[in-house]
Amino acid sequence: MSGFWQGAWTGWRLAFSLLVFPGFLFSVVIGFVLSWVDRVVTARVQYRKGPPFVQPFADLFKLLLKQTIVPEGASRLVFLLAPMLGMISMTITAVLLFNVNLNPQGSFVGDLIVLVYLFALPPLGLIIGASASRNPLSAVGASREMTLYFGYELPFLLALVVPIIKTAQVSGGIWTIRLGHIVMAQQQAGPFLYSVSGVIAAVLVLLAVQAKLGLVPFDQAEAEQEIMTGVYAEYSGVALAMFKITRAMMLFLLPLFLITVLWGGFGDWWAILKFLAIVVLVILIRNTNPRLRIDHALRFFWLLLGGFGILAVILAYARL
């Protein structure tokens, strides 16, 4: 009997952490607040007043009310399932990230790699959904999203090698890809950001975050002026709301991931200021840059940032 109650308690705790805190509900609410911050800071940059605090929630409720149209000739099942992919992966990401930071001992081998894959799922869902929608503009958007994904993943992965090398140096030559070990090494030896290679890696991750969020200068996949919001063009109602939710969760989780791997985790209250600094930096980059052409973006990521990534790895290896 006690085994049954123990199992029920574990199941309840798992369900709670997935659905309420730090999983779905918590990260969605924080993400929507951040998307309001994004819109207000954008408005202030343009000398406007900006929307009220409840605006993202009003958008969400309205989208839930609206009709969901499946375009004629589209693959119905794939078209409606694709938005869920990103949402589910971001929910799991929230649980993993909070677990690692609140309890660094409890992380499992290779959770850094799991997180990299989980962050790859939202663009994948976008590509699948856009390809299933049988819209030429969506197809262009999907192809751009794919190109962009291959572009930013290279500097992103090279930048993630830096904390792995530094963790090995701190812990005396023991190589590890546990996120918990990376957090603990930073608690022991100070955040990895405060070094030359750390700064370069943080800039690379920041630009990859910008591209993962689909914000200017890397919003080619949803360029309103060229391809009418591209990948989202055929989505309406609940399916569009799911994409908005995924985007909001990513706006919350990607800066959190950057803090975890390079800026000492978020065990203390300073983390909130660090977090807001990163978010505001992302918003300011978004508001002060033009959109790059897709081939320029690819060249930027592979040649320039890829070169800097290799440089950062070499510098990290030389303990700089």
Partner 1 sequence: MSKLGLWGLKKSPWVYHLAAAPCNNCDIEILELLTPRYDVERFGVVLVGSPRHADALLVTGVINRKSLPRVLEVYEQAAKPCLVICIGSCTCNTHIFRNSYNVVGPYDKHLPVHAYIPGCPPKPEAMILGVVKALSKL
**Binding residues vs partner 1 (CB under 8 A):** 39, 43, 46-52, 54-55, 57-69, 224-225, 228-229, 232-237, 240
Nearest to partner 1 of 68, 75 (CB atom): 68
Question: Residue 105, exposed/middle/buried by CB under 10 A (0-12, 13-18, 19+)?
Answer: exposed
Q: How far apart are CA 216 and CA 123, in angstroms?
A: 16
Least distance from partner 1 to the Cβ atom of residue 249, Å: 20
Judged by beta carbon, residue 43 or residue 84, the one nearer partner 1 is 43
Nearer of residues 65 and 277 to partner 1, judged by Cβ? 65
- Measured from the CB atom, is 18 or 43 closer to partner 1? 43
Shortest spacing between CB 72 and partner 1, in angstroms = 10
CB of 51 to partner 1, least distance (A): 5
Q: What are phi and psi of 172, to 5 degrees?
A: 75, 45
DSSP label at residue 292: P
The least CB distance from residue 246 to partner 1, in Å, is 16
Residues 6+ apart with CB under 8 A from 227: 137, 140, 141, 233
The one-letter amino acid code at 210 reads: Q
- Kindly state the smallest distance separating residue 6's Cβ from partner 1, in Å: 39
SS3 192: coil
The secondary element (H helix, E strand) that includes residue 124 is helix 111-132
Q: Of 63 and 278, which has the nearer Cβ to partner 1?
A: 63
